[in-house]
Structure 1
């Protein structure tokens, strides 16, 4: 099986993939100081809980936006699984798509991996929205060319900044307000309205601007842990695909292997 690793700013996701199908997935908080040995102890226990021995891992591919985390993940692959990890964007791994950007090397690996998976799954022009530490909006045209996109503060980041920079505002859960009114009657209600409906307005407004600029029919694909939370109160998403990044890594591995 393939062990696909997506190392983001907040979490590292590990997934076992067999013939393009995800058999298991786990996540751990991102810590660039975490050693290969620490990863191995944690991961081997989870493999055992799913009924797998570490010998089932025949290959490893990594996408990371945290450069300091890469070395220990590569050591994990070589020391504990006996394979040299492939790294998205590092030869011999080739993206296989046109990156129509002024500085292609500056684009996060996760954004390009998402683009590969989205174009493989859908025809036409696409916008991918990834709800992570940052919320990214990425555009892929009908030919599969990555055109760029938008980087906005993630909703958790926005809430942390709001609470951290004020003396009296409490920490609240990120959830849809139970009251349909957008006039908060308490401090907490006002925060819920501002965080949740404010973010819905951001999503809808930016997608509308992207569609107007693209000028052709566009499909919108949402991924990331909070995608389903917003899907309840907006019709802007055409598809919710929670495993888009892992799918892209699996496709990238198959292309490189061929």
Structure 2
């Protein structure tokens, strides 16, 4: 089985893929832990090996391991973890002569984050055509991938939780609120919390809709819009912007890269 580790700025997501022998694969289980680049391989083992056992698996079931990371300091300890506890050499996504396996058509190709590259790989494989990919993570990214699978560039904006943290952290009286749809469709809030939620929620949707409209106009060809990340489902209920919502995009990109290493 294939174990993947998607290391983000906030969380590390581990997922266990099982192959069906016909080229297909299924995510059997996944786990999430807070990102800490100081966490050692032994600490990962104490946590993850117990969870594997709870789900009915053992370390012997894992014969491949791939890491995709936007936190370079975390890679070394995860590599040691794979070697010591699974007796496998970890694949590091984007490393080596092959890189990502697609054209990165920007001024600084090496600056492309692993999560965005993996999203591009998976989205091109699943949906094809010209694509706009929106990832709602610690930062919100909007990326253009053309019909050949080439990465053409994109946008980086503060994630909605970062925006809310900045608002609350830099004001004396504003309370912390949860990210959710406002109780009313009105954009005239009648109290402080409603006004904050309207600004954060509808303001964020308006920002994304506006950015995508500008990107579509610049591309000049029909594009499918694919959303991923934890808040994509919440926003999908309140905008017609997304053609697909795919929460497994980054993990699928890791699995595709891992398969290329044995093909």
Give TM class, smaller chain: over 0.9
CA deviation string 1:213-244 (max 9, x = no partner): 01100000000110001001000000010000
1:8 aligns with 8
User: Structure 2: how far apart are the matches of 1:103 and 1:148?
Assistant: 10
Q: How many residues align?
A: 258
2:152 to 139, 147, 150: 147
1:161 to 166, 186, 192: 166
The answer to whether the aligner puts 1:94 opposite 2:104 as a matched pair is no
Quote the offset at 1:23 in angstroms: 1.0
Preserved contact between residue 11 and residue 28 of structure 1 (Cα < 8 Å): yes
1:60 aligns with 65
- Secondary structure of 1:250's counterpart equals helix
The answer to whether the aligner puts 1:33 opposite 2:38 as a matched pair is yes
Unaligned 5+ runs, structure 2: 20-24
TM-score of the superposed pair, with normalisation by structure 2: 0.96
Q: Note the 1:114-153 alignment, pairs <5 A.
A: 114-153=119-158
Quote the offset at 1:95 in angstroms: 1.3
2:222 aligns with 217
Unaligned 5+ runs, structure 1: none
TM-score of the superposed pair, with normalisation by structure 1: 0.98
User: Structure 2: how far apart are the matches of 1:180 and 1:60?
Assistant: 46
- Secondary structure of 1:12's counterpart equals strand
Quote the offset at 1:92 in angstroms: 5.5
The answer to whether the aligner puts 1:197 opposite 2:218 as a matched pair is no
